[in-house]
Amino acid sequence: MSLIFQQIFELIVGPPPLDSVVATPVSVVRQMLEIARDELPEQWQQKWRTMDSTWTGEKTENNLQEWLEETYFDGVRKEDFTRDDFVQVGALVRRLLRFEPGTTRASVQEILQDPWLGDK
């Protein structure tokens, strides 16, 4: 998971996206597959099947947008952002929560040029 994603998440939502005490490579990849909806790169799929033989590839109904809103609006800091802000934050974070940096993941420069960040 990219560090900038984690920092943006914590800045906006509060708690970190993963509990680092119990996070394992398998749990991080599984959560990214379930929430971000990014596809695992072809060259990683065999290793992933070896690491987690229980993974069925089935996606849960939860997605990144729901996860962000639930974490934020069920928390204490409800007055800083609107639900419309979270649609834009969700789009921004989805660009960061990709498996392959340099190809599908947005660069720091691309994120800093996002119109939503310029409005804040």
The pLDDT score that the predictor gives to residue 71 is 74
The pLDDT score that the predictor gives to residue 112 is 85
| Mean pLDDT per 10-residue section of the chain, whose length is 120 residues | 65 65 78 76 86 71 72 67 81 81 81 79
Query: Would you list the domain boundaries of the chain?
Result: 3-119
Rounded Cα distance between 14 and 65, Å, is 16
The pLDDT score that the predictor gives to residue 120 is 56
Q: What is the DSSP string of 70-112?
A: HHHHTSS--SS--HHHHHHHHHHHHHH--SSBTTTBPPHHHHH
The pLDDT score that the predictor gives to residue 3 is 66
The pLDDT score that the predictor gives to residue 61 is 57
The pLDDT score that the predictor gives to residue 78 is 60
The pLDDT score that the predictor gives to residue 16 is 65
